[in-house]
Structures are given as structure tokens and as C-alpha cells.
């Protein structure tokens, strides 16, 4: 478009109005409803868990197409460069987007593959605005927080609604009400409710009821102040969810109700529970769906085919009795959220085999050949998860060696796959100096080396081999038995790979590469015949494991662990 014409069109849009609110082509107000979920009092109150369970309930009981959207506060473009010690696991979507761990919770509870449209950081918002400003899309206007930043935030929500054909978009606002970090998101949601009109946006605040041990009673004042902060910026919550350690009293509900203008029937308590799979059923029992329908002018829908399957899973969780001890060996073991998808994959796989997992955390930084047996004593299965860097690698190799030699079921994931190759190269093939160029750049035996396409990559963010890739699976292998397919798709997040110069030697000595890239000599699944269960994958099977459809590799692993426990 000629620049003069661009000036004319944009000038016409911006001169006569203070709105910056261009609806996506084909978008109709009222076709999609919005539920906006905020948190108050403390971070980590459980917004993501509540949101995903609410979405699950609306799906399985009423058949709605519920699509989540997480607005994250940090200025990083995505979650890819975040340290697990500070922020927990980085979850990877099939399209390669590196996200917050809450997206994993949404995918599991909604049994749905999400895209980058469901995850927006403030960094992405700002980059969108700067890119548009540099391209001249705001000519004639000074770019301001209102209406431009808030306008772009609303556009993300509306575009997702349109492209996903969602009945309901479930929007979770990261952070806590009152923080400067999420103030723009909250303002945008206030504007969204104003623009969409009555009956189209429902606000739910998840607050926390304190129960100081020194007092021996619940206190609601912090919750009241948090809700008041939300109301002070123009957002009236429609429903209050009171999270607590123990069930809240009617007195507390009444205090919250009168302070927030929310009816007692819509002030709902949810205390801690160990069975998340019961949570959607409890939401239904508390008639939360009825309240949402009244606010959004919706009619109840027909139950989804998964309803009875979900109820069956919840029953299996309650009735599982056989305890199994599983060791997760890594270097982020003091931050459990670093391995949340692995924990959830174990958690929702065990009930299908009548088992309950007792997870033991093994810090590999102190493990060596002399103490591995002592540190791993009593374990029924060992998982070596993903990770980066040199710290703790020798301990991981010793854990794998112990599992291999003592016939303990073993599952390696990503970095665990690479360490399993090094164990075999050193202790079976006799390559004592075998190492990874990630750990030792100048190693004499680079059995694990960087992927060819990664050699020229500069920077860290979004530059790994990321997202879903197809694989070919060899017939008559453990992997083929688990998947019952010769072509599968899983998600990756790595830079390193088995050096092709060593593949023939490894296979000659007995290691089986049962999965590989279709058109490249990239090894992606390994296994060891004659072992009860020894399997490792370059991909992260935990990312695609779902409560109603557990990952085949986790199911095979847990099955082997249970069999070992029986013997």
C-alpha cells in the first residue's frame, strides 16, 4: 500500500475516536462467552488448577468447547529461557511454543492440544505493539497504554475466540490483584466486559482464607482487602472462590459476601485435596455451572462422552491400593514444579494399574559409583528426566547403570536418553571417555553431540528443536508393543543427539534404537532387550500424557514397576 494511502486510512481511523478496538474479521459479539479468573491474597493460590477443572466440568457435563488463555505478566517473550529453580517446568506445545506449566494443566484436564494463541506474555504484547509501530500501523497517533496496549490484549482474546470457535474462552490472569505487573491485563478485561456487553463476561476471583496456626481460626480480612483491590479498579467479581487448607465456615462466607457484593450462594469454598480428578465433580455438586450459566445467559448442554470415563478414573484413584516407590533423579529436586508433567503422568497412569506412587526425590549431584546402591535402595522404578548443563550428569549416569545392572525398571526422558547412551557406551562398549559435547566440549569420544541444525544457532530463546515431530517405530520392539504403531508423534525440546559415528557400535553391542526420525539418522527411542523395562526417549512423553489417555511409555513403565513389586 502506498504510504500516502496508509496515512489516509489510519488517520481516518484514529483522528475521530479514542477507541482502539478493531474486531477481527468475522467476529461477532456474544457468540463466544468469556470467563476471567483472577487471584488475590497470595500467588500460587491455585488459579490454574481451578480454571482447568472449571473448564473440564463445563466440557464433560455440558459438552461446551472451552478454550483457555493464560495472560502471563513477565516481559519474557515466552517461558523458554526461565530457570526451573525460579519458575518450575517449561511446558512445550505441539507447535513448539515454550509456555508456563499451567498450559500443561489445561491440556491434561481439557484433553486438548493448545497453540501459542493460548499463551500471551507481556513481552509478546509489547513486541506486537513495537512491531506495529515500526511498521507504521499507528501513524497519526502517539502509542499509549490505553487504548493501544489494552486494545492489543483484547485482540489476543478475541482472535483466539474466533480461530478456535470456542463457546467459552477461559482467561486466567497471572499474578495477584494489586500488583503493577498485571494491571494492564486487568484494565483490558474491564474494557472487554464493557465492550462485549452484559451477559458475555463472567469474573471469578480466587482468593485465599488464612488460618494462622497461632490463632487456630480462619481469618478473612486479607481476602476482603484483595477483593476490594479488584473492585477499586472497576471489576466487580461475579463469583468468589475461597481456597483454604480446611473447609471454610459459613461465617467466613458471609463476611466475604457482604464485603464483595457477591451472594453467599456464589461465595464458594474449596479446601485442599489430594485428588484433583474429583475436583470437576465437586464443582458440579456445588452448582458452579448453574451460577456461570445465569451470569452468561447460557443454557446447560448435553454431557460429553468422556463424563462416565472421568467418573471411572476418579473412582480408580480412590480405590488404588498398591504402593510403588519411584525415584526421580535430577538436579531440580527441591522444586517439585520443575517436573510437574512427569508427576502428573505418573499420577494419572497409576490408577489404571491399581497403584499409588510414592515418589522419592534423588539429587544426583552427590551420587557416584560408591554410593549409588545405597541412595537408590528400595526403589521399584527409576526415572531420569530432562535437564541441561554438566552439574549432576555423572550421578545420573550412575543411576542408569544401577537400574540396568540390577534389572530395575528404567525410563529416561530427553537428557535421560542421552545419559543412557553414555552409560552404555562407557560400561558396555568400553568407551571410557564417552561424553556429551554439552558437558565436555572437547571430549575425545563425543558420543552425544549437537544436532547439525543447531550448530549455527545463536541465542537461547526459541532456538532448540521444539514441538511435535513424527517418528518411525521399528516393529517387534518394546516401543512398537507400547504404541502399537509404526508412526507416532511426540514433543521435543533439545539441542543434542546421538553422534551418528557411534550408532553402529552401540547397536552391535546390543542397544536397540527402536524409534528414529523418518528421513534423518536421528535416534529418538532406545531400549535394551532382556531387561524388565529399560527404555529412554529423546522426546518428552509426559507432555502428551492425559488422564483419560496416559502416555504409552509411562503406562509401560508403571506396568513393569507393578510387576516387579508383585514378584
* pLDDT above 90 (res 87): no
Region of 537 on the Ramachandran plot (φ > 0 left; ψ -120 to 50 alpha; else beta): beta
**Concatenated DSSP letters for 102-161?**
HHHHHHHHHT----GGGEEEHHHHHHHHHHHHHHTTTTTS---IIIIIHHHHHHHHHHHH
Measure the CA dihedral 230/222/103/105, to 10°.
-140
More confident residue, 21 or 546: 546
Residue 69: closest CA among 189, 131, 160, 177: 160
Q: How many helices (H) and strands (E) does the chain have?
A: 19, 21
Please indicate, yes or no, whether residues 436 and 462 belong to a single structural domain of this protein.
yes
Mean pLDDT of the chain: 91
Last residue of a domain, one of 308, 331, 366: 308
Length of the chain equals 567
Residue 426 within any structural domain of the chain:
yes
* Residue 88 or residue 97, greater confidence: 97
Confidence bin at 8 (pLDDT 50/70/90): very low
Closest C-alpha to 170, from 44, 55, 24: 55
Residue pair 80/123 in contact by the 8 Å Cβ criterion: no
Q: What is the pLDDT of residue 11?
A: 46
- What is the per-residue pLDDT across 293-348, written as a single tens digit (0 to 9) for each? 999 999 999 999 999 999 999 999 999 888 999 999 977 666 678 899 999 999 99
Number of domains in the chain: 2
Same domain, 238 and 330: no
Q: What is the pLDDT of residues 44-68, one digit of tens each?
A: 888 999 999 999 999 999 999 999 9
How far is Cα 90 from Cα 102, in angstroms, rounded to an integer?
10
The CA distance from 404 to 425, in Å, is 13
Question: What is Dmax (Cα atoms) for the chain?
Answer: 80
Q: Indicate the angle between helix axes 307-319 and 47-62, nearest 10 degrees.
A: 130
Q: Is residue 350 part of a domain?
A: yes
Q: Model confidence over 285-307: pLDDT tens digits?
A: 999 999 999 999 999 999 999 99
Identify whether residues 215 and 347 lie together within a single domain. no
The answer as to whether 295 is a domain residue is yes
Q: Are residues 120 and 266 in the same domain?
A: yes
Helix (H) or strand (E) run with residue 465 in it? strand 465-473
Please report the pLDDT score of residue 43 as a whole number.
85
Which domain, by its residues, includes 328?
320-566
The CATH number that applies at residue 492 is 3.40.50.880
Contacts of 155 (CB under 8 A, 6+ apart): 22, 24
Would you call the peptide bond into 541 cis, given omega within 30 degrees of 0 as the criterion?
Answer: no
Residue 29 lies in a domain: no
Residue 329 neighbours by CB distance under 10 Å: 30
Same-domain pairing of 78 and 220: yes
236 and 180 share a domain? yes
The answer on 515 and 400 residing in a single domain is yes
* Mean pLDDT value of segment 465-484: 95
| Cβ atoms 544, 551 nearer than 8 A | yes
CA distance 260 to 239: 10
User: Among the three residues 261, 278, 308, which one is the final residue of a domain in this structure?
Assistant: 308
Whether the pLDDT of residue 7 is over 70: the answer is no
- When pLDDT is averaged across residues 537-545 and rounded to a whole number, the result is 97
- Evaluate whether residue 150 is within a structural domain: yes
Helix axes 102-110, 47-62, angle to 10 degrees: 20
pLDDT of residue 452: 67
Among 21-25, 164-168, 199-203, 235-239, the range scoring the smallest mean pLDDT is 21-25
284 with 385, same domain: the answer is no
- The candidate with the shortest Cα–Cα distance to 102, out of 73, 145, 75, 124, is 73
Q: Do 128 and 365 contact (CB within 8 A), yes or no?
A: no
Report yes or no on 28 lying in a domain: no
What is the torsional sign of CA 457, 514, 471, 350? Answer: negative
Q: Where are the beta strands (DSSP E) in 216-319?
A: 239-244, 267-271
* Residue 22 confidence class, pLDDT cut points 50, 70, 90: confident
> pLDDT confidence of 4, banded at 50, 70, 90?
very low
13 assigned to some structural domain: no
Residue 11 falls within a domain, yes or no?
A: no
Q: Sign (positive/negative) of CA torsion 366, 367, 371, 373?
A: positive
CATH code for the domain in which residue 87 is found: 3.40.50.300
Question: Where in the sequence numbering do the catalytic residues fall?
Answer: 414, 540, 542
288 in the same domain as 165 = yes
The H or E element containing residue 382 is strand 381-384
Whose grid coordinates read 481456597?
A: 243
Q: What is the pTM of this model?
A: 0.92
Q: Are residues 376 and 227 in the same domain?
A: no
242, 277, 308 — which closes off a domain?
Answer: 308
With a cut of 60, say whether residue 451 has pLDDT above it. yes
What percentage of the chain reaches a pLDDT higher than 90?
75
What mean pLDDT do residues 409-431 have? 96
> Could you tell me if 427 and 484 lie in one domain?
yes
Residues 438 and 496 in one domain: yes
Which three three-digit cell numbers place residue 489? 508423534
Closest CA to 51 of 274, 205, 176: 205
Q: Which residue has the cell 543434542?
A: 496
Geometric angle at alpha carbon 30, from 28 and 35, rounded to 5°: 120
**pLDDT single digits (tens) 242-260:** 999 999 999 999 999 999 9
Residue 37 pLDDT exceeds 70: yes
Distance between alpha carbon 62 and the CA centroid of its chain, in Å? 24
Q: How far is CA 296 from CA 34, 197, 264, 299, in A?
A: 8, 10, 19, 9
Arithmetic mean of pLDDT, 222-242: 95
pLDDT reading at 485 higher than 60: yes
Amino acid at each position: 500500500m502506498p504510504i500516502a494511502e496508509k496515512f489516509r486510512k489510519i488517520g481516518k481511523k484514529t483522528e475521530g475516536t479514542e477507541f482502539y478496538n478493531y474486531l477481527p474479521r468475522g467476529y461477532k459479539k456474544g457468540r463466544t462467552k468469556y470467563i476471567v479468573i483472577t487471584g488475590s491474597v497470595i500467588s500460587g493460590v491455585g488459579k490454574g488448577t481451578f480454571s482447568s477443572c472449571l473448564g473440564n466440568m463445563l466440557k464433560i457435563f455440558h459438552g461446551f468447547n472451552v478454550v483457555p488463555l493464560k495472560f502471563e505478566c513477565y516481559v519474557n517473550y515466552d517461558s523458554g529461557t526461565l530457570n526451573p529453580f525460579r519458575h518450575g517446568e517449561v511446558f512445550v506445545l505441539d507447535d513448539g511454543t515454550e509456555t508456563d506449566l499451567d498450559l500443561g494443566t489445561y491440556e491434561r484436564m481439557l484433553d486438548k492440544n493448545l497453540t501459542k494463541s493460548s499463551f500471551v506474555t507481556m513481552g509478546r504484547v509489547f513486541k506486537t505493539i513495537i512491531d506495529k509501530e515500526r511498521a507504521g500501523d499507528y501513524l497519526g497517533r502517539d502509542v499509549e497504554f490505553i487504548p493501544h496496549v489494552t486494545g492489543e490484549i483484547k485482540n489476543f482474546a478475541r482472535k483466539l475466540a474466533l480461530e478456535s470457535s470456542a463457546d467459552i474462552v477461559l482467561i486466567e490472569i497471572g499474578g495477584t490483584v494489586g500488583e503493577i505487573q498485571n494491571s494492564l491485563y486487568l484494565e483490558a478485561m474491564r474494557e472487554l466486559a464493557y465492550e462485549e456487553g452484559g451477559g458475555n463476561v463472567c469474573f471469578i476471583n480466587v482468593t485465599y482464607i488464612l488460618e494462622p496456626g497461632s490463632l487456630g481460626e480462619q481469618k478473612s480480612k486479607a481476602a476482603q482487602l484483595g477483593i476490594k483491590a479488584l473492585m477499586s479498579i472497576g471489576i466487580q467479581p461475579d463469583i468468589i472462590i475461597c481456597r483454604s487448607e480446611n473447609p471454610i465456615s459459613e461465617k467466613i462466607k458471609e463476611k466475604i459476601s457482604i464485603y464483595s457484593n457477591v451472594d453467599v450462594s456464589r461465595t464458594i469454598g474449596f479446601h485442599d485435596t489430594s485428588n484433583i480428578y474429583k475436583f470437576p465433580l465437586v464443582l458440579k455438586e456445588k452448582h458452579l455451572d448453574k451460577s456461570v450459566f445465569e451470569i452468561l445467559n447460557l443454557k446447560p448442554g448435553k454431557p460429553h462422552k468422556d463424563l462416565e470415563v472421568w467418573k471411572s478414573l476418579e473412582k480408580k484413584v480412590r480405590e488404588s491400593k498398591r504402593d510403588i516407590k519411584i525415584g526421580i533423579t535430577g538436579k531440580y529436586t527441591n522444586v517439585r514444579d520443575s517436573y510437574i508433567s512427569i508427576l502428573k503422568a505418573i499420577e494419572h497412569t497409576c490408577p489404571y494399574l491399581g497403584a499409588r506412587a510414592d515418589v522419592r526425590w534423588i539429587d544426583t549431584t552427590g551420587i557416584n559409583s560408591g554410593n549409588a546402591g545405597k541412595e537408590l535402595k528400595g526403589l521399584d522404578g527409576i526415572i531420569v528426566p530432562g535437564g541441561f548443563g554438566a552439574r549432576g550428569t555423572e550421578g545420573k549416569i550412575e543411576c542408569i547403570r544401577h537400574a540396568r545392572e540390577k534389572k530395575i525398571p528404567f525410563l529416561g526422558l530427553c537428557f535421560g536418553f542421552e545419559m543412557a547412551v553414555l552409560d552404555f557406551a562407557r560400561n558396555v562398549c568400553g568407551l571410557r571417555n564417552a561424553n556429551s559435547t554439552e558437558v565436555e566440549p572437547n571430549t575425545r569420544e563425543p558420543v552425544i553431540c549437537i544436532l547439525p541444525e543447531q550448530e549455527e544457532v545463536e541465542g537461547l530463546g526459541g532456538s532448540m528443536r521444539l514441538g511435535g515431530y513424527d517418528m518411525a517405530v521399528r516393529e517387534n520392539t518394546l516401543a512398537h508393543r507400547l504404541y502399537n504403531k509404526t508412526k507416532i508423534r511426540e514433543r521435543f525440546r533439545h539441542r543434542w543427539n546421538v553422534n551418528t559415528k557411534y550408532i553402529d557400535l552401540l547397536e552391535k553391542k546390543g542397544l536397540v534404537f527402536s524409534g528414529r526420525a523418518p528421513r534423518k539418522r536421528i535416534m529418538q527411542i532406545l531400549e535394551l532387550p532382556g531387561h524388565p523395562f529399560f527404555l529412554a526417549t529423546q522426546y518428552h512423553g509426559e507432555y502428551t500424557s492425559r488422564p483419560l489417555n496416559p502416555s504409552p511409555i509411562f503406562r509401560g513403565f508403571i506396568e513393569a514397576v507393578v510387576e516387579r513389586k508383585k514378584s
